[in-house]
Amino acid sequence: MKLKIGIMGTRGIPNHYGGFEQFAASLSVGLVKKGHEVIVYNSCLHPYKQSEWRGVQIIYCKDREKKLGTAGQFFYDLNCIKDSRNRNFDILLHLGYNSDSIWYWLWPKKVLNIVNMDGLEWQRTKYNTLTRRFLRWAEALAAKHADALIADSLPIKQRLLNIYKKEATFIPYGAKNFEHPDPSILTKYGLTPNKYSLIIARMEPENNIEMIIQGYLAQNNSTILFVIGNMTNKYGKYIRDKYNSAFIKFSNAIYDQNELNNLRYHCLIYFHGHSVGGTNPSLLEAMACNCRIAAYDNPFNRSVLEDSADYFTSAKDVLDIINTPKEKFVINQWRKINNQKISNIYNEEKIIIAYEALLLNLYYEKNLISQPAIVNSL
């Protein structure tokens, strides 16, 4: 059965922004390889300008973010939804809710509208009180009006059941185990294997970048902390200007996956400070790259890493992690367990299979087509 699938809610593919974009790229290509027609909505501001990428069709919609800031997202989502009404999709996959869900009454009616609920957007500290209230309302609209919900973590799945009495299908994000390290890649960044620690994150307060830097600088430094993210936004400029140290190296976002994987693989400690959201793609990629991980202590990160990581909630915790010796055997066990989780649970191919199974089953059910149930094995 060939489905016509639309994917919206991201800046677009290939990834030049963050986790959702990386996921949209992986999923769309995977579904095309399985014989489905897939269309991804891209912002007109996206640097990639072709109408197709690796077999995935791309539709560009007007985006006024440069002129209107965050408010431009409302019009971009509206433009995507208006276009989708004329595409005869079988399924429209909404990645996240935010401003998308306020236009629910314009979602195409004969299409299965499926929402990946992502994380707790309304908890992000970059938003003011009014915006947070709006995002909670948007979350409720998506939960109420979607034909089906997807939760990328078990805590999110439980929250949707507790708050909205809605069942969601648990499908996390995926990654591929990194198997071909090349230390020569590091010379481009002036780094030496196991002589630096690493942060890869959007430059936003809720990712606790400042907390990690403060803890790192409190030690008697002998290694570098390499921080990768958008250094041109307001928070990125603040962090870069405030922590001008010989032991902190900053880089704008890097989108070459081979370079990123090598930077992860050869780091001493990978610090994951994300405090909002479910299963974070960058955390899975660190696990896939054999990193020793220190993560911000919350239910989402613990549900993925369990006992195979260090945890912190303060700069002092970060300092203690750095200063407290850890047996090599323990670190290697953590790496092995996390690598196995990528193979067995967060495997990119298994995630694509799970999405295809869900989409097909929902389509058969909606259209009363008698077909053998396709099993979602997650």
Q: Could you tell me if 333 and 356 lie in one domain?
A: no
For residues 103-109, average pLDDT = 95
For residues 136-164, average pLDDT = 92
In a domain, 110, yes or no: yes
Q: What pLDDT is attached to residue 66?
A: 86
**Element spanning 260, H or E:** helix 257-265
| CA 221 vs CA 197, 225, 245, 323: distances in Å | 11, 10, 11, 10
In a domain, 371, yes or no: no
Name residue 271's amino acid: F
**C-alpha span between 103 and 124 (Å, rounded):** 22
Q: Could you tell me if 352 and 232 lie in one domain?
A: no
Residues 135, 294: contact at Cβ < 8 Å?
no
**C-alpha span between 268 and 265 (Å, rounded):** 9
| CA 359 vs CA 22, 59, 365: distances in Å | 20, 21, 10
Q: What pLDDT is attached to residue 72?
A: 84
Indicate if the pLDDT at residue 375 is higher than 60.
Answer: no
Would the CA dihedral through 20, 121, 143, 8 be positive or negative? negative
Q: Could you tell me if 207 and 93 lie in one domain?
A: no
Q: Could you tell me if 23 and 170 lie in one domain?
A: yes
User: What is the residue-averaged pLDDT of the chain?
Assistant: 92
Q: Could you tell me if 210 and 316 lie in one domain?
A: yes
Q: Could you tell me if 160 and 226 lie in one domain?
A: no
Q: What pLDDT is attached to residue 329?
A: 97
In a domain, 139, yes or no: yes
pLDDT digits (tens, 9 = 90+) for 268-321: 999 999 987 778 889 999 999 999 999 999 988 999 999 999 999 999 999 999
In a domain, 153, yes or no: yes
In a domain, 60, yes or no: yes
Q: Could you tell me if 312 and 360 lie in one domain?
A: no
Q: Is 324 helix (H, G, I), strand (E, B) or coil?
A: coil
Q: Could you tell me if 162 and 249 lie in one domain?
A: no
175 against 131, higher pLDDT: 175
In a domain, 374, yes or no: no
Q: What angle do CA 243, 247, 253 make, to 5 degrees?
A: 70
Indicate if the pLDDT at residue 176 is higher than 80.
Answer: yes
Q: Could you tell me if 194 and 329 lie in one domain?
A: yes
Q: What percent of the chain lies above the pLDDT cut of 90?
A: 79
Range of weakest confidence among 223-232, 338-347, 366-375: 366-375
Residues 346, 279: contact at Cβ < 8 Å?
yes
Question: Residues with Cβ < 8 Å from 47, sequence gap 6 or more?
Answer: 16
Q: Could you tell me if 54 and 168 lie in one domain?
A: yes
Neighbouring C-beta atoms of residue 277, cutoff 10 Å: 23
Indicate if the pLDDT at residue 374 is higher than 70.
Answer: no
For residues 326-347, average pLDDT = 96
Q: Could you tell me if 161 and 192 lie in one domain?
A: no
**Element spanning 240, H or E:** helix 234-242
From the list 27, 287, 294, 267, the residue with the least C-alpha distance to 178 is: 287
Q: What percent of the chain lies above the pLDDT cut of 70?
A: 95
Q: Domain with 71 in it: what CATH number? A: 3.40.50.2000
316 against 129, higher pLDDT: 316
In a domain, 376, yes or no: no
Identify the domain containing residue 28 by its residue range: 4-174+347-366
Q: Could you tell me if 51 and 143 lie in one domain?
A: yes
Residues 125, 209: contact at Cβ < 8 Å?
no
Task: Count the alpha carbons within 13 Å of 116 in the hemisphere toward its beta carbon.
Answer: 27
Our count of domains for the chain comes to 2
**C-alpha span between 92 and 117 (Å, rounded):** 14
Indicate if the pLDDT at residue 376 is higher than 70.
Answer: no
pLDDT category of residue 131 using cuts at 50, 70 and 90: confident
**Element spanning 366, H or E:** helix 348-366
In a domain, 372, yes or no: no
Whether the predicted model's global pTM rises above the 0.85 cut? yes
pLDDT digits (tens, 9 = 90+) for 46-80: 999 999 999 999 999 999 988 888 778 889 999 99
